[in-house]
Amino acid sequence: MKVVVTVLEDTCEAAVDAIRAISEKHDLVEVRAERFPSIDLHAIRAATSKEILLTYRSAPSVTSHGMVFAAGIDFVDVEWHVGVAVERPERTVISHHDYQGMHDIEAIMSNMSALGCAHTKLAATPHHFADNERLLELLRTAPCASSTVIGMGERGLYSRILAPFRGSALTFVAATNVAAPGQLTLARAREIYGSEPQRAERVFAIVGNPASHSRSPAIHNRLFREKGVPAAYTIASIERFDEITDAFLRGEPCGLSITTPFKEEAFLFAAIGEVGENARRARAVNTLVNVNGRIFADNTDVDGFAALLPQARQAAVVGAGATARAALVALENAGIPAMVYNRTVSKADAPLEALRDFRGDLIINTLPAGTGVAIPRCGTYIEAAYSGDSAPVEADVRIGGLELLRAQAVRQHQLFMRIFDGV
């Protein structure tokens, strides 16, 4: 895999500055020039010692390829269409982008590959989990090693992240301005892949709607690298939970982290296998593992909360969903009395407005990020969400959602490793 940093700016001068500002390890720079009123090819060439790909996406090139190559630019991007002419295939990235769907991707990939260009790039827009599988299949059947596939958008993250683990040649990431739907930043890509993605024989994923914000790929891929196991962890952002169940039962992916809004559905699904005590008591599953056809399920959110709980006299749990129930199990195990506060009173001990009168020393907020709720002063405040705006809180100790995510990932990783232990 080669990491290509895409620079998308309004002027050539801004692009040069952006290229010079790239500090993390990368292999190529793609300069998107369609917005430039004018272009100084020599200034772009002088901005980096890395190879440069010049692209005019959805706009005609204002310079001839001969001028581009004479200035020392390494590659040009040519958008594929029937009858397209390629002047210098050895210095061309032939590409196709379908921003609406997956129309004729197999035939288009075959036609592009036949041109013999330096790189063949196909980017399409999956709408369902099966679309991602279809896109990844192009890598297995690709006639050359220089093929790149990219799933665009929220629903395409599964294949976008997984493709480099399956041999996709180029990974396009953003310097600052995201140039395509679902594109990763360079920093996030390095967290996920490390210095180089290992070949993945086993696939794991976080399942949610939405799930693009998830930091789990960085956490679990690092743990897999440290163990030296041939595994990859990606994001499955899906509309319905049943989109992924057949694939899970086939064993790819073989391990799932479950997040909002699918934890209750995962609990019902898990009845076909062995369900752990934490999941049974919380009536929610956040981890599913398929070990040679044997299904294991549990709720490691309970373990995460247990690792973070302080000594406390009385706790308030804000919210009454699956995450709240996991917190209640951990609190019960720790012997800490708790009261639930929620907008829907039928699911709670008290209405949300009554939280202002809470005088205990521990508050656990399981509501979604950005939910407006007044949190009274407390000794320890734990917030489960880690994306969006955090609630303003006065607390002696404040524990954020990322800390909870990392804490629950410890046991979740242990459950995932059953795949390699075969138990």
Assign 394 to helix, strand or coil: coil
- Residue 395, SS3? strand
Specify burial of residue 370 (Cβ count, 10 A radius: 0-12, 13-18, 19+). Answer: exposed
Nearest to 164 by CA among 185, 186, 135, 193: 193
HSE, side-chain direction, 13 A CA sphere, residue 342: 18
420: left (phi over 0), alpha (psi -120 to 50) or beta: alpha
Task: Name, in order, each residue with C-beta under 8 angstroms of 281's C-beta and a sequence gap of 6 or more.
Answer: 302, 325, 329
Q: Where do we find the tokens 């070949």?
A: 199
Residue of 2, 25, 227, 263 with catalytic role:
263
CA distance 195 to 25: 8
Environment class of residue 423 by beta-carbon count within 10 Å: exposed (0-12), middle (13-18) or buried (19+)? Answer: exposed
Dihedral, CA of residue 372, residue 374, residue 377 and residue 379, to nearest 10 = -40
Catalytic: 227?
A: no
Nearest-10 Cα torsion for 92, 28, 7, 35: -20
The closest alpha carbon to 408, from 392, 384, 389, 387, belongs to 384
List phi, psi (to 5°) of 143: -80, -10
Q: For residue 355, what are its two tokens? A: 């939280």
- Any idea which residues carry the catalytic annotation? 263
